[in-house]
Amino acid sequence: MAGPKARAALSGTVAGVRMATKAYEPSLMPRTAIDQGLIVGGSFLSGFLAGATTSLTFEILPRRATTPLLRIAGVVATGSRTARSLSVGGDKTEAMDPATAGWLDFGSEVLTAVALSRLILDTDSALARTGALATLGVTTAADTGAAIAARTDEPDAKYIATSAGVGLVANAAVAALATGIRVGGWLPARATRPRSVARAGVSIVGSLATVGAIAYGTRMALGRVTGKIAAGNRATEIAFAEVPASPNVSGSSESTIPYESLGVQGRRLVSDVVSGADIVEIMGETPIAAPIRVYVGVDSANSDEALIDAALDEIHRTGALDRSIIIAASPAGTGYVNYITVEAAELMSKGDCATVAVQYGSLPSMLSMNKVQKASHLYAMLLKGIRSAIAESGSTAQLVAYGESLGALAGQAGTEAASTDDGLIVDRALWVGTPNGSPLFEKLTGAGAPVFDHPTDLASYLEDNDAPPYVFLNHDNDPVTKFSLDDAYRIPDWLTVPDRGRGTNPNQRWLPGVAFFQGLIDTKNAATVIPGQFFSTGHDYRADLASFVAAAYGFSVTDDQMARIEARLRESEIRRSDRIALGKIHSA
């Protein structure tokens, strides 16, 4: 008869295989075989830990008490599968609660894994062992086929084989790491007298020291990687090497902010301002003013206060307070402000607008979550400074907010921090692709503020309503707006309803553990874009922005003008992409 460790290992392996099978089920975004393999690996690990832990738990219970439980595991599994069949077919209104179904499926798989492991290891009957293994193989193959059939991308055999291989490699790496930690505890313990009380303590200290060394090494490696990424923000690009000629932008010869301090994203932004000729060509009207772009890079000053002071100095120098609308843009992690939004606003206002942004970091948004507090603090300071400048100068300019992705999250937090009980400090706002977890989003939408998925939704709303002062644009299938760490153990609200919205797969469901890794990879893949080809899906909002800029900021645009604006935005993106593709002169 096998020992507890062997039974736990096999129970974990069987449960892990079952969860890896579920990992092929549909989620919000298409995924490559490598991405699928990472989801398989993570899902296997979730199942393994649950199966092994459950098996060890049964070991400490009386065998007479556990035997009946294990015998009914197969019945529970059968009931779970029946419930699942009912939930994905027939009348959706009578389906089992999705959270209950998810936990029941997960739990039944774990219990079945424990039961099968004991049958395989503890029985003397070769026929019984063979039958158990055959049952596991058949059900796993069948469930993999069902998971693939529920998807719309139709993965082939090569995809499945590659993803399975990646999953194996990922879990082998985790196993090697765990073995290293155990060895780190075992080696120093060998030097301690056997059966000594201190031996266990030495082993624990050795394991903790090994974990600390691995964590330190990982941190140093990540630090080097992120350091290189951040240094890339200071690189000089061939197409954006020359100081802008227009005095209406930061970094020009008349600006107090050095052009080189703006970083890659800032230099790109201030180098492509809409001209008067552009306005005449696209809008068919005489320009009202020359648009202004104020950008302060993270290297433009050495303190938060100095960064804001630099922005306010630029606002006064450029005459931004004389424009009818000032767009306070909250950048994404790298300092990126969507050029499409800015260019659309400049065309629609016929130049009578100013855009202001202050950079807070140099890393991609997924690596900048720890900068949200700093970013929101900077943005709140900026809003307060602009609002004070408007009041002191007697300007009639509207102060409006813009933020996309992490910029929306930080911008909303900053807006709320800068506001009073009388209302938000901004006159209008457009927030795009707001990540899950924004308190202001929850507050405003809870009070009735609409959330739009597509320009057609906006058009339908405007038939019976005025444009709301605070406009939220979130695609129904955008993982960034939905993903949460809680997805590992708690079903998100959007998966509890039958109709999940445009671009979603009705067969997607929630399973503990599996859903977390699906959501994590979906978030990574949320915005795969092709220059000039605008799609309204996932975290790609380029196809929607022009319509929402017009509605959110109150611009009057004819259908013909909008068509020309849309065409121009696509052309501009292709030109910008071609210029970026020329490469860099050097890296700092």
pLDDT in tens, 530-549: 999 999 999 999 999 999 99
pLDDT at residue 583 tops 60: yes
Question: Over 70: is that where the pLDDT of 190 sits?
Answer: no
Chain centre distance of CA 430: 19
Q: For residue 168, what are its two tokens?
A: 């194996």
* pLDDT per position as a tens digit, 364-397: 877 778 889 999 999 999 999 999 999 999 999 9
Strands 236-237 and 428-432: unpaired
Residue 330: what are its φ and ψ, rounded to 5°? -95, 110
pLDDT of 118 over the 90 cut: no
Report the pLDDT value the prediction gives residue 224, as an integer from 0 to 100: 84
As a whole number, the mean pLDDT across the chain is 89
Which segments of 125-246 does DSSP mark as H helices, in order? 126-149, 157-190, 197-232
Distance in angstroms (rounded) separating the CA atoms of residues 147 and 143: 6
pLDDT of 76 strictly over 80: no
User: Would you list the domain boundaries of the chain?
Assistant: 1-155+479-525, 233-478+539-586
Contact assessment for residue 15 and residue 43, using Cβ atoms and an 8 Å cutoff: no
Picking from 379, 387, 385, the residue whose alpha carbon sits closest to that of residue 408 is 379
Neighbour-count burial for 233-263, b at 16+ CB within 10 Å, e otherwise: bbbebebbeeebebebbbbbeebebebbbbb
Confidence check: pLDDT of 79 > 50: no
Q: Which two tokens stand for residue 96?
A: 């089992």
Separation between Cα atoms, residue 314 and residue 320, nearest integer Å: 8
Q: What is the mean predicted confidence (pLDDT) over 170-186?
A: 83
d(CA 259, CA 244): 8
Mean pLDDT of 107-128: 82
Q: What is the pLDDT of residue 92?
A: 43
Residues 39-60: what's their mean pLDDT?
92
**Residue 89: pLDDT over 50:** no
pLDDT at residue 199, rounded to an integer: 61
The answer to which of 13-22, 163-172, 209-218, 265-274 has the lowest mean pLDDT is: 209-218
- Bridge partners of 402, per DSSP, are 329, 430
Q: Which of 193-197, 257-261, 462-466 has the lowest mean pLDDT?
A: 193-197
Confidence grade of residue 85 (pLDDT, cut at 50, 70, 90): very low
The pTM (predicted TM-score) of the whole model is 0.88
- The C-alpha atoms of residue 388 and residue 132 are separated, in whole angstroms, by 74
Q: How far apart are CA 339 and CA 584, in angstroms?
A: 20
- Write the CB contacts of 194 (distance below 8 Å, at least 6 apart in sequence): none
Supply the pLDDT for residue 57: 87
H or E element: which one contains 580?
helix 559-580
- At residue 455 the predicted structure's pLDDT band, cuts being 50, 70 and 90, is very high
In whole angstroms, what is the distance from residue 294 CA to residue 357 CA? Answer: 6
Q: In which element (H, E) is residue 525 found?
A: none
